[in-house]
Amino acid sequence: MSFAALPFASCFAYLPGGRGPVCEGGRLLCAHLKSADRDWLARLTAQVWRETEGHGRFGGTFGDRVVLVPVPRSAPGLLEDWVGERVAWCLKELGLAVAVMPVLQRRHAVRKSAFAEAGERPSVLEHYASFAAQRAFWKRMPPARGSLACKPHGNELQLTLIDDVITRGRTMLAAAARLREAFPEAQIRAFALVRTLGPDETLRRIFDPCEGEVQWVSGDARRRP
């Protein structure tokens, strides 16, 4: 597996163990997000649109040449759509991308990070081993605006991984590595609606647009900020 640094962006923040009304509001937001509350998804993604179109944020992450790739859930074989895919479609419907293409799949299940202790969460390599990029799926997709979706080898191809929450960035980094193998010429970025803060950080506001990087350091993912 090789992906040295992955640019990422997020729009909201929360602190799982924090106290006070701001932290409680962040946990409520995540609860609505995890339950795939459609009203909340519409509101949250509308905020992303306002930051992108109104304030010029997230350059390269979104745009009319970008294809969104939802990060698969922790287990394969479930037919209904999942939160990451719903987020991707909401963003696409707002005009922030040319298409949504779920070319990544899970070969086998990994432990669900949300219910695991910090030391028991899947590693980057475990995620990487569980992912597969389905190039055949790409070929079956109809042409998208500008026909960029039909040019997987072109320098123009821009892929943005989409997930609901990013913590350390292990899942995103592993997914990016699989995409790089399948589409070596693509520009790859990542976006999560919410980023998790660490226990040594302070949550000052829930709405906190951020751009940074997930790095591969000493065999693990390191997210900055």
> What share of the chain in percent tops pLDDT 90?
73
Per-residue pLDDT reduced to its tens digit, 125-169:
999 999 999 876 565 554 444 444 444 444 578 999 999 999 999
pLDDT for 136: 64
- From CA 126, how far away is CA 124, in angstroms rounded? 6
Mind listing the pLDDT tens digit for each residue in 183-193? Answer: 999 999 999 99
CATH topology of domain 19-110+117-218: Rossmann fold (3.40.50)
Reading the block at residue 133, the tokens are 């990029």
**Inter-residue contact 91 to 48 (CB < 8 Å):** yes
Q: For residue 141, which amino acid is it?
A: M
**What is the structure's pLDDT at 118?**
61
Question: Would strands 220-224 and 187-196 be described as parallel, antiparallel, or unpaired?
Answer: unpaired
CA 66 to centroid of chain Cα atoms = 14
Structure letter (DSSP) for residue 149: G
Average pLDDT value for residue range 102-116: 82
Tell me, what's the pLDDT at 69? 97
In whole angstroms, give the CA distance from residue 210 to residue 198. 15
Of the pLDDT bands very low, low, confident and very high (cuts 50, 70, 90), residue 116 is low
Q: What are the residue ranges spanned by the domains of the chain?
A: 19-110+117-218
Q: What are phi and psi of 8, to 5 degrees?
A: -140, 160
Task: Please answer whether residues 209 and 52 qualify as being in contact, where contact means their C-beta atoms are separated by less than 8 angstroms.
Answer: no
What's the rounded mean pLDDT across residues 77-83? 69
Pairing of strands 66-70, 158-166: parallel
Quick one: which H or E segment has residue 73? none
CA dihedral 117, 171, 224, 219 (to 10 degrees): 80
Q: Could you tell me the two tokens for 197?
A: 């803060």
In 3-state terms, what secondary structure has residue 187?
A: strand
Helices (H), the chain: 21-34, 38-49, 55, 83-93, 124-130, 135-140, 170-182
Q: What's the whole-number average pLDDT of the chain?
A: 88
Its pTM stands at 0.90
